[in-house]
Structure 1
Amino acid sequence: MEDRVIFAALAGLLHDVGKIEQRAQDAPWNPPEGYNPEGQPVHAGWTEYFIQHSVPAAYHRPALQGVYHHRPEDSPAEDRRLGWVVSLADKLSAGERADDEPAGPGNRPPQQMLSIFDRVGAYRDRPGLAHHYLPLSELRLAREALFPVGQSSPDDTRRLYEALRDRLREEARNDPGDAETYLENLLGAFQRNAWSIPSAYYHSMPDVSLYDHARMTAALAVCVDELPDQQIIRLVEALRADFAHAATPEQKTMLDAPVALLVGGDISGIQSFIYTLSARRAAQTLRGRSFYLQLLNEAILRYVLRELGIPLTNVIYAGGGHFYLLAPLSAAKKLPDLQRQITRTLLKHHGTGLYMALGWAEVPASGFSIGRFSRTWDRMHAALRRVKQQKYRELGEDLREVFRVQPHGGNQEKLCSVCGEEKEDCQPLEDEPGEELGRICGLCASFFRAFGRRLPEASYALLTLGAPQPREAGSALDVLAEFGLGIQFYDANRRLLPDGAELPGAERGVLWALDDPRGWPEVSLPAARGLRYTVNRVPHETFDKLQERSHGMKRLGVLRMDVDDLGALFRAGFGEGEKSIATVARLSTLSFQLSVFFEGWVKRICEEVSGDRIYAVYSGGDDLFLIAPWHLVPGLARRIAEDFSQYASANPDVHISGGMAFIHGKYPVYQAAEDAHDALEQAKQRPGKRSFAFLGEAWGWDEFAALEQRFTTLVQVIQEQGGPHSLLQVLQRLADLYRSRRGGGNRPLWGPWMWLGDYQLKRMIEQAKNKPDLRASLQEIYAELSPLYHSLPLWGKAARWAQLYLRNDKEESR
């Protein structure tokens, strides 16, 4: 990558870092000692101070040019061009501030970041609702660091800024010895320490982080750096006039000209690729396949960045099988060739099973402001849809390769028992020496060896990056190498684990901490450090063995959950048309906040709920797929829903639904995935959604909490108080009678369930006269039901739940 591109990104990333230094001071409105502001804002002086004291000297010259982004014409530098570039990038990136709303009562805004969830849906248009602020904390998986809080006192705020500043200073001094790696390392440091620091908080709602504003400024600096000098200067002047509502017609026309590309990438075929497996070796390969898709998305993204000659700062979001980035206008000439090469590589290794579509749209200078960016977002997605609707068209005459008849067919010796495809490299599949259980292809075997076997032990992953290397179809590592990526894992003690593969001739590396880092592994390559939370819970046992750890009925529970109407939230959650406050920074912040919950906080929930009994097939983006002993799943789903509601500021327009299916350990994975998907769809059919489908019905989360409370009561009555198991049968029979006569209406009904219930429950109460605790519990159940028995359906389902939970081995074998 050219130094010019790296330096433009570096100057953009550091242009406002002085705001952290300034807010950490006892007297924040005083400039650093010896600094002459010369019409510059005070934070610009603190930016210069940070660069001079914390950034390696090799990067001072480009970084200091960004200090004068407010008035680049006053810069003392001999070459002021980069100052103008950062000035333009900053003004484009700051389009989100044009809402011009005071951030707090009495125009005394807090120096904390407003939760992005306060800016979507109902909260956006109802200013009377309470504001929720993010803690001023480094990014880590702790409730006190992630979940919204109230306003801190001024003394606490300054102290918290001081701690974040000190950590950022220390990390900024770490120079891996390679300019691109230093830039990416600094980007990771910004993410960890500035993710919850507001970029601005006067005259604009503080809902965009300094991290997001800084990296978008860096991205736009890379994009506009290729424009002619005079065009850059005229655009800065036009934006100044536009912000002051004084732009001339000529300037408005200039601002409608494109300055960057919004590029999207989307992998098709993910569902079939992960879940179309036989039950054999599913537990060993399933998580590896899922993690491989994350790596494949990263590898293709890195390949695109490398070929376009742009840094990681230009990525808006990557995860869940798609990515979005900003690129210079000149990238439009290269993207069609990249689409063809990506398609050819995926065809070679995956046939037509996986396909990556690229789509892009030009963004005018005026398109980054509120009320405008959503149009570009829609045009980019429309371009993506067109590519997916015309797959492989980019191959031209080579399209016949897609329809080529395979040279083999019907040969059991070449049939993989895991994925069901015929492959030339199938080998015997053995669980014990000498016990052959079919055959496995090299690709499926590599998912287990390279990823599935090591991921549960891994605390860090080292991505090694270099030039793409042509490989023959074989293992998953070969696919990644074709895009220029290798991978190795390290455990919690930072020791290298076997089975990974460094990319031969790798130029540099990226260290991912899969959890909160406790030190970093020593590696031989220049390596940037970053967080990539991963829910890597994988029990060391087959699904057959895992189901034996269930309480009562020996079955597994399959849980699928996702955010309701997320597409609408991104499309219209920030408003529509000219009233939309959607900007690239806000959309990026929303994506980032969702990924932290699903990739990070869900990891913590799984650890707290079940230890080593949850198999995390996937959790990321806005959805999850978990398998566990069935009795853990209902409580796990409720905990995830409750935490998500708190995390999202209890916003009534941001909620989650889930569905659970019961399966046997030998049940095919694809069918389990389909069953859980059907349950999730049942939940989403309920009016208002925000539901959980369980035991054949969709329950609102409040209803499910009531169901769970009654289940707990019945288990205590029988297990702890010696109550009769017949109570469970009685409640279910009464509920069946009630449902059959009620017919779905809400009108009160009289029926046999009333006198039968009175008779049978009173009889049980009488028989418990020598057990006072049991008698009291039965009387409470009877009192809630009688006289109209309206809550009978709830008690009937709770009884069924308790029956499954209390089922013994003898009953299970019948």
Structure 2
Amino acid sequence: MDTEGKDRDEPSRRIEMNPLGLAKDIIFPKNKAELDPEEGELLTKRYDKLWEGFSEAFGRLPKANFLVFTETLLFLLEKYTWCIPGSTTDLPDVSLYDHSKTTAAIAGCLYDYHDAMGSMTIPAIRDKNDQKFLLVCGDVSGIQKFIYNITAKGAAKGLKGRSFLVQLIAEAAGKHILRQFGYSVSNMLYSGGGRFYLLLANRDQKALDDIRAEINATLLEKYDGDVCLALGWTELCGNNFSLGKAEDKAEKADFPSKWRDAAIKANEDKRRKFAGLDYQKVFGPSGQGGEHKTCQICKKEGPLKNVSHGDENVALCRDCEIAERMGQELSKASWLAEVYNEQTGLKGRGFDIPIPNTRYYLFKDSERNHISEIRGEAVGIYRLNDTDFLPENGEAAGSHVLGFKFTGGVSQSISKNFGELTNLSTGLKRLGILRMDVDNLGQIFMKGLGKRASISRIAGLSYQLSLFFSGYLNMICNREKTMIIYSGGDDLFIVGAWDNVVELAGEIQREFKAFACENDAFTISGGIAMVSEKYPIYRGAAHAGDAEEKAKTFKRSVGGQQKEKNALTFLNKPLGWDDLAVSRKIKDKLHLLIKDGKAGKKLPAGILNRLREIYLLYERNRQDLEEKQEVRGAELEEKTMYNKWMWRAVYTLKRMAGKNPLFRTEILELRDALIKNRFHGEASERPIIQFIDVPTRWAEFLVRKQKENENGKERQSNA
């Protein structure tokens, strides 16, 4: 895969054939040397094992009706055929699952179209020039404002609940459209990150306008215009699914461009929020008027309920109270129930969402027996982050669709509030807020698959990205001091103790790089904000977003080549990931020597000031040269590198090494790193002097409280 659209060599890694799970050993591609059986050997035993698992589970599928059977079968196919190539006669890069699902979607649309048009003949069906299909892109707009626009009193569980609610709204909206057109979930090509893609027959575009208006009327009433569903669609013909040359020269066989066109039209629809609704509903007065108490979380009017937030009671509106309850239940949940047109529910349980006739429940494993009590026109029961979803030992499957769903942060404790997470930080007490997403994703979808781009390959690429962010990220972030607020699609939002968040960002990048087979087309950028526990979370989220954007626009020259993105902004400075790794090593060494020292003696923290002074001198040298306007580009970099700062660094650090003979070796290692741009075997991307301020501030923040405590004890003893 290449963003320039070039065909690449045959892949050197493979996904082993195993039932789907979230373990790294299952979903990460392996080098040929690691494969079992080895490359070129027969895979008969692997196929046999998958078939045995599939056929045994097939006997446990619910058979209440055709819809229940087929939709549960789709999840079973995903579990056992996600790793089987759809074709072994050419490049085996499309799974049997993706191939089967997209083929079923196309077949369903063909039948629907010709049935509606009264043209169910073989010549008409084989005609690839008619615009028989619609590719629909749905996008929930206003996500950022809805999730993050809460006060500092907002609990972590409320933020997590809001995030999960948005995911449910997007997915439920897509399923509602499919139901209105009579399709199964196989026609949902993708759902994640508040966006979905559907494949429909091109028979009633006005119905899409009506459904959008119906959903948006409910969203407007519920959220006062903060959240809106945008829809965009484009027409397709059979040739758009073909590879190579289209039969009709006037119609290019270019499915990625259709994917992009649908997204562009959805973005255009975002700029016409609530178009088609009654003018008075959109622009008329809302609320009660006069002076009324407002929710202490979102500042909206309405009936309030006092909810305990640690040592204080907070007045919440119903929406915020539900969001907190949803976040709390999600942290312990193993099952999600989706009910359409509920007939029998559970009193005091469940969550209504602003999509017509749709309701959700969350259950712990110990509450699973209550699931059978739910009745509705359509009920789906999904196991969260676990593909063992069918009942065991002949237990009655009932009349519910059964499946599984990967969701970031499920069963992750949120008993701690933001203040408690902040206090888990080492040294300086700050909450770390991390936002990351994949770079150049639009270009990857448009050009990355080259001439082999097809609907199944696009769907497969979306599936793999979602598998990492919605599924595997849970395995990386399963730790006490961090909390996933959102992860899915191609991005994430995580909070936690600031020092843990920085380490986690590097780990996520390394794992994503390995997951993508170290393909340089797949990179990820992010930004970290550090805020106090009382700082409004919406502002912290905005700062992290600004930091992420700074990383996205970060350009630098490396070895004579221009690079951009593929970076993290930390302490307001964008760094390539290699430079972050070097910064981490320098920080680790400084922190260890200042905190613990060796032979009973500690390195004076004054070394941090010396290094900072050297960095500031470098910046002044650079600024002086820029102001003189005598040199530019590479010549400016070279003259700055061999300027006063270097001689000062050599002198200052050698002198400090002389005064601290126990740490002479370590201090001179730092001096050499500034000159040679390598530290403990790790080469930097840019000259280390350009970012030495990051590891020094990093180490300073880690020892800050310790220094304050020691100084306090010293002052007390002196008194």
Q: Does the C-alpha gap of structure 1 residues 409 and 762 become closer, same or farther in structure 2, counting only changes over 3 Å?
A: same
In the alignment, structure 1 residue 757 sits paired with structure 2 residue 649 = yes
Q: Which moved more, 1:742-751 or 1:281-290?
A: 742-751
Name the SS of the counterpart of 1:453 in structure 2: helix
Instruction: Give the corresponding residue for 2:671.
Output: 782
Q: Distance in 2 between matches of 1:715 and 1:338?
A: 59
| C-alpha deviation, 1:503, in angstroms | 10
Instruction: Give the corresponding residue for 1:797.
Output: 694
Structure 2 counterpart of 1:606, which letter? C
What per-residue deviation string (whole Å, max 9, x for no partner) do you get for residues 590-629 of structure 1?
Answer: 111111111112111111xxx1221211111111111110
Q: Distance in 2 between matches of 1:715 and 1:432?
A: 34
In the alignment, structure 1 residue 142 sits paired with structure 2 residue 29 = no
Q: Does the C-alpha gap of structure 1 residues 807 and 524 become closer, same or farther in structure 2, counting only changes over 3 Å?
A: farther
Name the SS of the counterpart of 1:318 in structure 2: strand
Pick from 514, 522, 539 the counterpart of residue 671 of structure 1: 539
Pick from 34, 42, 45 the counterpart of residue 159 of structure 1: 45
Name the SS of the counterpart of 1:316 in structure 2: strand
Name the SS of the counterpart of 2:132 in structure 1: strand
Name the SS of the counterpart of 1:487 in structure 2: strand
Q: Which runs of 5+ in 1 are unaligned?
A: 1-118, 239-253
Q: Is the 8 A contact 1:693 1:699 kept in 2?
A: yes
Name the SS of the counterpart of 2:353 in structure 1: helix
What per-residue deviation string (whole Å, max 9, x for no partner) do you get for residues 3-57 of structure 1?
Answer: xxxxxxxxxxxxxxxxxxxxxxxxxxxxxxxxxxxxxxxxxxxxxxxxxxxxxxx
Name the SS of the counterpart of 1:393 in structure 2: coil
Instruction: Give the corresponding residue for 1:725.
Output: 605
Q: Is the 8 A contact 1:269 1:353 kept in 2?
A: yes
Q: Which moved more, 1:746-755 or 1:439-448?
A: 746-755
Q: Distance in 2 between matches of 1:232 and 1:362?
A: 22
Instruction: Give the corresponding residue for 1:352.
Output: 225
Instruction: Give the corresponding residue for 1:387.
Output: 269
Pick from 255, 272, 279 the counterpart of residue 128 of structure 2: 255
Q: Which moved more, 1:192-201 or 1:757-766?
A: 757-766
Q: Distance in 2 between matches of 1:547 and 1:780?
A: 34
Structure 2 counterpart of 1:442, which letter? R
Name the SS of the counterpart of 1:411 in structure 2: coil
Pick from 470, 475, 482 the counterpart of residue 614 of structure 1: 482
Q: Distance in 2 between matches of 1:738 and 1:216?
A: 57
Pick from 492, 495, 503 the counterpart of residue 367 of structure 2: 495
Q: Distance in 1 between matches of 2:230 and 2:375?
A: 29
| C-alpha deviation, 1:569, in angstroms | 1.8
Instruction: Give the corresponding residue for 2:660.
Output: 768
What per-residue deviation string (whole Å, max 9, x for no partner) do you get for residues 71-91 of structure 1?
Answer: xxxxxxxxxxxxxxxxxxxxx
In the alignment, structure 1 residue 419 sits paired with structure 2 residue 298 = yes
Instruction: Give the corresponding residue for 2:401.
Output: 527
What per-residue deviation string (whole Å, max 9, x for no partner) do you get for residues 184-209 of structure 1?
Answer: 1110011111112111121x322211
Instruction: Give the corresponding residue for 1:747.
Output: 638
Name the SS of the counterpart of 2:637 in structure 1: coil
Name the SS of the counterpart of 1:447 in structure 2: helix
Instruction: Give the corresponding residue for 1:374.
Output: 256
Q: Distance in 2 between matches of 1:147 and 1:259?
A: 38
Pick from 140, 161, 185 the counterpart of residue 72 of structure 2: 185
Q: Which moved more, 1:652-661 or 1:128-137?
A: 128-137
Instruction: Give the corresponding residue for 1:564.
Output: 439
In the alignment, structure 1 residue 428 sits paired with structure 2 residue 306 = yes
Instruction: Give the corresponding residue for 1:703.
Output: 579
Q: Is the 8 A contact 1:553 1:808 kept in 2?
A: yes
What per-residue deviation string (whole Å, max 9, x for no partner) do you get for residues 464-486 of structure 1?
Answer: 233699xxxx9992335x52332
Instruction: Give the corresponding residue for 1:215.
Output: 101
Within a 5 Å distance, the mapping from 1:553-702 to structure 2 comes to 553-575=428-450, 580-607=451-478, 611-687=479-555, 688-702=564-578
Name the SS of the counterpart of 1:266 in structure 2: strand
Pick from 609, 617, 626 the counterpart of residue 737 of structure 1: 617
Q: Distance in 1 between matches of 2:285 and 2:377?
A: 39
Q: Does the C-alpha gap of structure 1 residues 148 and 175 become closer, same or farther in structure 2, counting only changes over 3 Å?
A: closer
Instruction: Give the corresponding residue for 2:192.
Output: 319
| C-alpha deviation, 1:230, in angstroms | 6.6
Name the SS of the counterpart of 2:425 in structure 1: coil
Q: Which moved more, 1:273-282 or 1:563-572?
A: 563-572
TM-score by length of 2: 0.85
Q: Is the 8 A contact 1:264 1:323 kept in 2?
A: yes
Name the SS of the counterpart of 2:136 in structure 1: strand
| C-alpha deviation, 1:554, in angstroms | 0.4
In the alignment, structure 1 residue 509 sits paired with structure 2 residue 379 = yes
Name the SS of the counterpart of 1:551 in structure 2: coil
Pick from 291, 294, 297 the counterpart of residue 170 of structure 2: 297
Q: Distance in 1 between matches of 2:389 and 2:574?
A: 45
| C-alpha deviation, 1:726, in angstroms | 1.2
Name the SS of the counterpart of 1:632 in structure 2: helix
| C-alpha deviation, 1:426, in angstroms | 1.9
Q: Is the 8 A contact 2:257 2:446 kept in 1?
A: no
Q: Does the C-alpha gap of structure 1 residues 526 and 476 become closer, same or farther in structure 2, counting only changes over 3 Å?
A: closer
Q: Does the C-alpha gap of structure 1 residues 516 and 344 become closer, same or farther in structure 2, counting only changes over 3 Å?
A: same
Instruction: Give the corresponding residue for 2:560.
Output: none
Structure 2 counterpart of 1:746, which letter? E
Q: Is the 8 A contact 1:409 1:422 kept in 2?
A: no
Structure 2 counterpart of 1:274, which letter? I
Q: Distance in 1 between matches of 2:586 and 2:514?
A: 24
Q: Is the 8 A contact 1:285 1:444 kept in 2?
A: yes
Q: Is the 8 A contact 1:361 1:380 kept in 2?
A: yes
Q: Does the C-alpha gap of structure 1 residues 369 and 129 become closer, same or farther in structure 2, counting only changes over 3 Å?
A: closer
Q: Percent of pairs identical after alignment?
A: 31
Q: Is the 8 A contact 1:263 1:324 kept in 2?
A: yes
Q: Distance in 2 between matches of 1:504 and 1:520?
A: 17
Q: Does the C-alpha gap of structure 1 residues 406 and 163 become closer, same or farther in structure 2, counting only changes over 3 Å?
A: same
| C-alpha deviation, 1:156, in angstroms | 5.9
Q: Does the C-alpha gap of structure 1 residues 681 and 383 become closer, same or farther in structure 2, counting only changes over 3 Å?
A: closer
Instruction: Give the corresponding residue for 2:332.
Output: 457
Q: Distance in 1 between matches of 2:142 and 2:696?
A: 41
TM-score by length of 1: 0.75
Name the SS of the counterpart of 1:510 in structure 2: strand
Structure 2 counterpart of 1:168, which letter? F
Q: How much is the aligned-residue C-alpha RMSD, in angstroms?
A: 2.9
Name the SS of the counterpart of 2:306 in structure 1: strand
| C-alpha deviation, 1:260, in angstroms | 2.2
What per-residue deviation string (whole Å, max 9, x for no partner) do you get for residues 771-806 of structure 1?
Answer: 3xx333223223334699963344332111111111
Instruction: Give the corresponding residue for 2:631.
Output: none
Pick from 440, 443, 448 the counterpart of residue 319 of structure 2: 443
Q: Report the count of equivalent residues.
A: 653
Q: Does the C-alpha gap of structure 1 residues 220 and 300 become closer, same or farther in structure 2, counting only changes over 3 Å?
A: same
Q: Distance in 1 between matches of 2:43 and 2:195?
A: 37
| C-alpha deviation, 1:810, in angstroms | 6.2
Q: Does the C-alpha gap of structure 1 residues 259 and 171 become closer, same or farther in structure 2, counting only changes over 3 Å?
A: farther
Instruction: Give the corresponding residue for 1:329.
Output: 202
Q: Does the C-alpha gap of structure 1 residues 360 and 783 become closer, same or farther in structure 2, counting only changes over 3 Å?
A: closer
Q: Which moved more, 1:550-559 or 1:518-527?
A: 518-527
Q: Does the C-alpha gap of structure 1 residues 502 and 726 become closer, same or farther in structure 2, counting only changes over 3 Å?
A: farther
| C-alpha deviation, 1:448, in angstroms | 0.9
Q: Is the 8 A contact 1:223 1:327 kept in 2?
A: yes
What per-residue deviation string (whole Å, max 9, x for no partner) do you get for residues 471-511 of structure 1?
Answer: xxx9992335x5233222233x443499xx99974134222
Structure 2 counterpart of 1:431, which letter? H
What per-residue deviation string (whole Å, max 9, x for no partner) do you get for residues 128-176 of structure 1?
Answer: 4653322222221122211112344454622222221112212222231
Structure 2 counterpart of 1:533, which letter? T
Q: Distance in 2 between matches of 1:780 and 1:708?
A: 15
Q: Distance in 1 between matches of 2:255 and 2:638?
A: 51
